[in-house]
Chain A
Amino acid sequence: MDPKGIYEALQAKFGEDTVFGFQSTEQKGHDPFFFVKPDKAEQVALHLRDDPALACNYMECLSGVDYPDKNEIHVVIHAFSYKLKHRAVMKFALPRDNPRIKTFCKVWSAANWQERECWDLLGVHFEGHPDLRRIMLPDDWVGHPLRKDYKEAAQYHGIPTTRPNPLDLIAPKVEKPKAATAADKPAPAKKDGAADAKPKPAPKAEEPKAEAKPQADKPKAEEPKAEADKPKAEEPKAEAKPQADKPKAEAPKSDKSE
């Protein structure tokens, strides 16, 4: 049976109030779907499984989709029939602030874990579920991450959930040779030039701020070095130059920005 036929068969059985909103496909290859009223969910699902003309005995997929702009959460069920080789896509629109629907575990056991996942990641409450616990995330996790407005907590039990972008840590090292060669010869002139150029790249002046914490130590530690550098520089020739130059080029910047 094609999706339209399944829809019409269900509509004939349950009425237009319960089964509605068939959306056919504009483009070839897209899946059509229809809506079912949430309070009749279990009856419709049972009929879908047990009616010999529908016989959708395999629940392929249960997903939740968050629509903050419609203020709805959709529970989508893909049910498939091994015997008749057709698929029904049912959607249940639930209110976003209190999404509740009856469990499908009595219809398809496969719903058990998928409903737990849906509860965990989207916060849909499946009434009558035998064991509705979080499955992917720890029991004490706050929030449901697959909701569109989910904000990650800064840390979980003292473990930070983000880390500094490693590219940001590398970036100054990559830029350094250019700045170093420019600052190498006309070091005093560059200071003036930097002061002139300062207002133009205003965002640049902010960047060091973000990086200031990891780098803050470097200038402090290396500035005295740079002054007393000339005798030391002979030992690590290749390394000393860029290292010594960096504080020269950066230290004034950070001073100004602060």
Chain B
Amino acid sequence: MAEVIVTRDQDGEEMTLNMGPHHPSTHGVLRFILKTDGEIIRAAIPDVGYLHRSIEKIAERNTYEGFMPYTDRVDYLAAMFCNEVWATAVERLHGVEVPMRAQFLRGITGELNRIISHLISLGCMAMDLGAFTPFVQALREREFVNDFLEELCGARLTYNYCRVGGVAHDLPNDTWKPHVLEWVDHFLPMVDEFDRLITYNEIFVKRCANIAVITAEEAIDWGLVGPNLRASGVRWDVRKDDPYGAYPLVDFKIPVGTGTCGTVGDSFDRFVVRVEEMRESAKIVRQLLQKIDDYPKGEIRGQLPKKLRATGEVYAHVESARGDLGCYVIAAGKDEPYRVRFRTGSFTVMGIVEPKSPGLFVADLVALISSIDVVAPEIDR
């Protein structure tokens, strides 16, 4: 792409404007080339790839077990799911059974991870639209969970917690579980406070409602997943519709966009769906923690074959914080996989920015980008 900063057509009508790659509201190193008519966008062309590390090529050079730490880097805000999808794919490939306690631990850590990922997403969206306080409040809550996960697996962001056939560590001590339960009780009222503070704040609602409406048909056609898809009114969640792990044993709702303050599928719906999902996730964490001791302590790794050398192919998917996260693995009887592909929610959702942007104000584009919750390394991998 041409190195455009600002150019102006001779008639003075259309202006080409560079936004990013280091723009505070672009969530990572993302760049947009805007063609604007005054304040109104005619086209916004995303330019991605600044964080491309070819994680798929790296996978071809690593063993199945050895690739696990790299999967953290696919999505650093929700690394647990990338671990999980990789482990799931390799387990299915080699026919490994995962003990139920490990499934519970994956579920608990996954839902905690979903909460903190949504907190960042919601806080950042509020900040992009001019409200700074919710961001700080969200980060405060996130710190608690970061501490829990650090106690569990030693890392705050890139966990490397799942293993092929289970997880790396059992609960660290007897106090971890009551602490998390205590935090869940503290967190649910905090979400209500968050609602009062920002969600139904009139200025915020006016910035988001009816902005960048994505209909259900468009969302499916463009391959949107997760909260972005559900905000458009499609009730689809891998945890419910293709259940895996411990999710069949818990009771939770799938929030969908209802057009509370505007139209179904607008930026506001995408925000509200995430707020509701945090509540549901907290409830899932509570239920799983209450049931986890039904399964014997220490049984966190399944039986692995002596060598991981399957032949065949598997497409595994889990519900990540950014939606249906897929991992396609082809094995050819070697220690290393033949081909690995990560299909991430952020990558497909970025495709819809270009067709959705014409007619928006520049400030509304910010609302669109932050409401679809993209994470740059997940786009670029």
Interface residues of A (CB under 8 A from B): 25-31, 33, 57-61, 63, 65-66, 76, 78, 82, 85, 87, 89, 108-110, 112-114, 117, 121, 134-139, 145-146
B207 at the binding interface (Cβ < 8 Å):
no
The CA of A109 and the CA of B223, in the complex, are separated in Å by: 8
Contact between A110 and B223, CB atoms less than 8 A apart: yes
The CA of A82 and the CA of B240, in the complex, are separated in Å by: 13
The CA of A108 and the CA of B236, in the complex, are separated in Å by: 18
Contact between A27 and B310, CB atoms less than 8 A apart: yes
Contact between B315 and A89, CB atoms less than 8 A apart: yes
Q: List 23 A-B residue pairs with CB atoms under 8 Å apart, sorted by A's residue number.
A: A25-B312, A27-B312, A29-B93, A30-B92, A30-B93, A31-B314, A57-B220, A60-B324, A61-B326, A63-B328, A82-B220, A87-B315, A89-B315, A108-B223, A110-B223, A110-B348, A113-B347, A113-B350, A136-B48, A136-B49, A137-B49, A138-B49, A146-B57
Closest chain B residue to A147, Cβ basis: B57
B:327-362 near A, CB below 8 Å: 328, 330, 338-339, 341, 343, 347-348, 350-352, 355
Q: What mask results when residues 219 to 237 of chain B are scored 1 for a CB within 8 Å of chain A, else 0?
A: 0111100000000001010
Contact of A82 among B49, B57, B236 (CB under 8 A): B236
- Residues of B near A60 (CB, < 8 A) are 223, 315, 317, 324, 326, 343
Contact between A61 and B328, CB atoms less than 8 A apart: yes
- Residues of B near A61 (CB, < 8 A) are 315, 326, 328, 341, 343
The CA of A135 and the CA of B328, in the complex, are separated in Å by: 20
- Residues of A near B242 (CB, < 8 A) are 85
Most-contacted residue by chain B among A89, A134, A146 (CB, 10 A): A146
- Residues of A near B241 (CB, < 8 A) are 85
B5 at the binding interface (Cβ < 8 Å):
no
Contact of B222 among A29, A78, A109, A136 (CB under 8 A): A109
B:51-100 near A, CB below 8 Å: 52, 54, 56-57, 92-93, 95
The CA of A31 and the CA of B314, in the complex, are separated in Å by: 5
- Residues of A near B57 (CB, < 8 A) are 145-146
The CA of A61 and the CA of B351, in the complex, are separated in Å by: 14
Contact of B221 among A26, A65, A108 (CB under 8 A): A108
- Residues of A near B326 (CB, < 8 A) are 60-61, 78
Q: Given A31-B315, A82-B236, A85-B241, verify A110-B52 contact (CB < 8 Å).
A: no
Contact between A58 and B328, CB atoms less than 8 A apart: no
Q: Given A135-B49, A139-B1, verify A28-B341 contact (CB < 8 Å).
A: no
Cβ distance B342 to chain A, nearest Cβ, rounded Å: 9
The CA of A117 and the CA of B317, in the complex, are separated in Å by: 20
The CA of A29 and the CA of B314, in the complex, are separated in Å by: 7
Contact between B313 and A145, CB atoms less than 8 A apart: no
B280 at the binding interface (Cβ < 8 Å):
no
Contact between A30 and B312, CB atoms less than 8 A apart: yes
B378 at the binding interface (Cβ < 8 Å):
no
- Residues of A near B313 (CB, < 8 A) are 30-31, 33
The CA of A49 and the CA of B129, in the complex, are separated in Å by: 39
Interface size classification for chain B? 35 or more
Contact between B49 and A65, CB atoms less than 8 A apart: no
Closest chain A residue to B338, Cβ basis: A65
B277 at the binding interface (Cβ < 8 Å):
no
B380 at the binding interface (Cβ < 8 Å):
yes
Cβ distance A48 to chain B, nearest Cβ, rounded Å: 14
Closest chain B residue to A117, Cβ basis: B347
Closest chain A residue to B317, Cβ basis: A60
Contact between A113 and B348, CB atoms less than 8 A apart: yes
Closest chain B residue to A66, Cβ basis: B339
The CA of A165 and the CA of B351, in the complex, are separated in Å by: 38
Cβ distance B335 to chain A, nearest Cβ, rounded Å: 16
Contact of A78 among B49, B54, B95, B315 (CB under 8 A): B315
- Residues of B near A113 (CB, < 8 A) are 347-348, 350-351
Contact between B312 and A114, CB atoms less than 8 A apart: no
Q: Given A136-B49, A146-B56, verify A29-B95 contact (CB < 8 Å).
A: yes
Most-contacted residue by chain B among A76, A113, A145 (CB, 10 A): A113
The CA of A67 and the CA of B340, in the complex, are separated in Å by: 14
Contact between A30 and B314, CB atoms less than 8 A apart: yes
Contact between A109 and B221, CB atoms less than 8 A apart: yes
The CA of A135 and the CA of B30, in the complex, are separated in Å by: 12
- Residues of A near B48 (CB, < 8 A) are 135-136
Closest chain A residue to B350, Cβ basis: A113
Closest chain B residue to A78, Cβ basis: B315
Contact between A110 and B222, CB atoms less than 8 A apart: yes
Closest chain A residue to B340, Cβ basis: A63
Cβ distance A24 to chain B, nearest Cβ, rounded Å: 11
Contact between B348 and A114, CB atoms less than 8 A apart: yes
Contact between B221 and A136, CB atoms less than 8 A apart: no
Cβ distance B353 to chain A, nearest Cβ, rounded Å: 10
Contact between B328 and A76, CB atoms less than 8 A apart: yes
- Residues of B near A110 (CB, < 8 A) are 221-223, 348, 351
The CA of A66 and the CA of B56, in the complex, are separated in Å by: 13
- Residues of A near B92 (CB, < 8 A) are 29-30
- Residues of B near A89 (CB, < 8 A) are 315
Closest chain A residue to B312, Cβ basis: A30
Contact between B341 and A63, CB atoms less than 8 A apart: yes
8 further contact pairs, Cβ within 8 A, besides A27-B312, A28-B95, A138-B49: A27-B310, A30-B93, A58-B223, A59-B223, A82-B220, A110-B221, A114-B347, A145-B57
Contact between B54 and A146, CB atoms less than 8 A apart: yes
Contact between B351 and A112, CB atoms less than 8 A apart: yes
Cβ distance A112 to chain B, nearest Cβ, rounded Å: 5
- Residues of A near B352 (CB, < 8 A) are 109
Contact between A58 and B314, CB atoms less than 8 A apart: no
Cβ distance A127 to chain B, nearest Cβ, rounded Å: 19
Contact of B339 among A33, A63, A112 (CB under 8 A): A63
- Residues of B near A28 (CB, < 8 A) are 95
